[in-house]
């Protein structure tokens, strides 16, 4: 039988492993979303911004969200393939 402290340490290690998966990709997607939002918000104040920059902002937003959804999907796949097992 596993005591509560050992079970807690194993669960924390499992969660830390899950959180560390695709960290760089998740951060890259978040940065792209922030950059795209900054360009689009800036376009409301800077009228001289070319139309291509505004479309670039939309492209950055879309690319960032695609990356973040991909990371969520991959992490869910890993979690389904490696469920928490306190006996391992």
Q: What is the pLDDT of residues 5-29, one digit of tens each?
A: 888 898 999 999 999 999 999 999 9
Q: How far is residue 41's CA from residue 24's CA, in Å, rounded to a whole number?
A: 26
What is the reported pLDDT for 2? 63
What is the reported pLDDT for 34? 97
* Helices 23-45 and 51-81, packing angle to 10 deg: 160
CA distances to 14, 30, 47, 75 from 85, rounded to whole Å, are: 9, 31, 57, 17
Give, in degrees to the nearest 5, the angle at Cα 70 between 65 and 71. Answer: 100
Q: What is the pLDDT of residues 31-63, one digit of tens each?
A: 999 999 999 999 988 888 888 999 999 999 999
């Amino acid at each position: 039988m596993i005591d509560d402290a050992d079970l807690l340490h194993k669960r924390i290690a499992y969660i830390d492993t899950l959180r560390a998966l695709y960290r760089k990709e998740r951060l890259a997607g978040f940065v792209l979303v922030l950059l795209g939002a900054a360009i689009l918000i800036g376009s409301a104040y800077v009228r001289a911004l070319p139309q291509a920059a505004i479309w670039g902002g939309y492209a950055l937003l879309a690319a960032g969200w695609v990356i973040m959804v991909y990371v969520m999907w991959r992490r869910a796949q890993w979690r389904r393939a490696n469920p928490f097992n306190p006996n391992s």
